[in-house]
C-alpha cells in the first residue's frame, strides 16, 4: 500500500484563523485535482488526516447538526463550512466592513497590501468581495496615481486596477534605478575634471 503523501497541518493557534482556513482548503482542493481525488467521502477523510490533532479536536467539538449532510450537500464542503463558522462565529457585515475599512498599506509593495485585503475580505465573507477590495485598495494604498486612476475610472475592474498598480510600481522602480545610474555616471565624469583642476591650482 502506497504511503500517504505529506501535506502540512493546519495551524489553528495563530490569528486570522478563518482567512487562513479558507486559504488552506483552497490549496487542499488543488491537491485533490493534482491527485485525481474526486470522491466526496475520501476528500473529507483526507482533510481529517492532514489537518492535525489540534484541528481534529476542534472538529470533534462541533455540534453534529452543523456537519450533518442534507440534500445537494457534500460531506467535505459541509465540514469545511462548519470549521470556518467555528473560527468566525459572528458574521456582522456592517461591523466587518467597519474593521475592513481600517486596513491601510503601511509599507511599499502593492502585492502584499492586495493579498492582505483579499484574505480579510474572504474571512468577512462579503457578498461582493471584488468591490470591497477595490474600494479599500483605492482608499488605503500609498500611491496617489493608483488612487487617481481608481477615482477617475469608477467602472474599472479590480483586476485592471491591480494590474495598473503593479505596472506603476514597476515603472517607479525602473525610474529609480535609472536615476541612480545617471548619478553614478555624472559622478564618474566629473571626478577626473575636478582632479585636473586641482592639479592646475
**In the block, residue with C-alpha cell 476542534:** 58
- As a whole number, the mean pLDDT across the chain is 86
Q: Give 114-137 pLDDT, tens digit per residue.
A: 999 998 888 777 778 899 999 999
**pLDDT confidence band for 18 (50 / 70 / 90):** confident
Residue-number span of the structural domain to which 169 is assigned: 93-180
Res. 13: pLDDT tops 90: no
Same domain, 82 and 98: no
Q: Is residue 21 part of a domain?
A: yes
Number of structural domains (the chain) is: 2
**pLDDT confidence band for 1 (50 / 70 / 90):** very low
Res. 160: pLDDT tops 60: yes
Same domain, 59 and 120: no
Same domain, 115 and 156: yes
- pLDDT recorded at residue 195: 55
Cell readout for 107 is 509599507
Same domain, 26 and 80: yes
From CA 123, how far away is CA 97, in angstroms rounded?
Answer: 11
The DSSP output letter for 154 is: T
Last residue of a domain, one of 30, 57, 87: 87
CB 142 within 8 A of CB 109: no
Q: Which of 23, 96, 89, 92 is nearest to 58 (CA)?
A: 89
Q: Which residues touch 19 (CB under 8 Å, ≥6 apart)?
A: 119, 120, 122, 123
Least confident piece of the model among 5-14, 96-105, 149-158: 5-14
Same domain, 100 and 65: no
Q: Is residue 199 part of a domain?
A: no
Q: Give, in order, the Cα–Cα distances in Å from 44 to each of 39, 51, 59, 60.
A: 9, 11, 12, 14
Q: Is residue 9 part of a domain?
A: no
From CA 75, how far away is CA 78, in angstroms rounded?
Answer: 5
Same domain, 159 and 133: yes
**pLDDT confidence band for 110 (50 / 70 / 90):** very high
Same domain, 175 and 105: yes
Q: Give 59-96 pLDDT, tens digit per residue.
A: 999 888 888 888 888 999 999 988 988 887 666 677 78
As a whole number, mean pLDDT of residues 50-62 equals 93
Q: Which residues touch 191 (CB under 8 Å, ≥6 apart)?
A: none
pTM: 0.50
Q: Give, in order, the Cα–Cα distances in Å from 37 to each of 41, 45, 66, 194.
A: 10, 11, 24, 73
Q: Residue 162 is inside which H or E element, if any?
A: helix 158-200
Res. 190: pLDDT tops 60: no
Q: Is residue 59 part of a domain?
A: yes
Last residue of a domain, one of 62, 87, 112: 87
3-state secondary structure 76-136: HHHHHHHHHHHHCCCCCHHHHHHHHCCCCCCCCCHHHHHHHHHHHHHHHCCCCHHHHHHHH
Q: What percent of the chain has pLDDT over 70?
A: 88
Last residue of a domain, one of 55, 87, 119: 87
Same domain, 69 and 136: no
Amino acid at each position: 500500500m502506497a504511503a500517504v503523501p505529506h501535506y502540512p497541518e493546519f495551524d489553528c493557534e495563530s490569528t486570522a484563523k478563518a482567512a487562513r482556513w479558507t486559504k488552506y482548503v483552497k490549496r487542499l482542493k488543488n491537491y485533490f485535482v493534482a491527485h485525481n481525488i474526486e470522491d466526496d467521502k475520501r476528500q473529507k477523510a483526507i482533510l481529517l488526516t492532514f489537518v492535525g490533532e489540534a484541528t481534529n479536536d476542534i472538529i470533534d467539538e462541533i455540534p453534529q447538526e452543523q456537519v450533518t449532510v442534507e440534500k445537494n450537500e457534500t460531506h467535505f464542503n459541509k465540514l469545511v463550512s462548519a470549521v470556518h463558522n467555528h473560527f468566525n462565529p459572528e458574521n456582522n457585515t456592517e461591523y466587518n466592513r467597519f474593521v475592513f475599512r481600517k486596513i491601510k498599506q503601511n509599507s511599499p509593495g502593492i502585492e502584499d497590501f492586495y493579498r492582505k485585503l483579499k484574505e480579510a475580505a474572504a474571512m468577512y465573507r462579503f457578498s461582493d468581495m471584488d468591490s470591497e477590495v477595490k474600494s479599500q485598495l483605492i482608499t488605503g494604498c500609498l500611491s496617489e496615481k493608483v488612487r487617481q486612476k481608481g477615482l477617475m475610472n469608477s467602472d474599472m475592474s479590480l483586476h485592471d486596477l491591480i494590474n495598473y498598480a503593479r505596472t506603476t510600481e514597476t515603472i517607479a522602480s525602473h525610474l529609480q534605478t535609472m536615476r541612480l545610474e545617471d548619478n553614478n555616471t555624472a559622478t564618474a565624469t566629473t571626478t577626473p575634471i575636478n582632479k585636473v583642476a586641482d592639479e592646475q591650482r
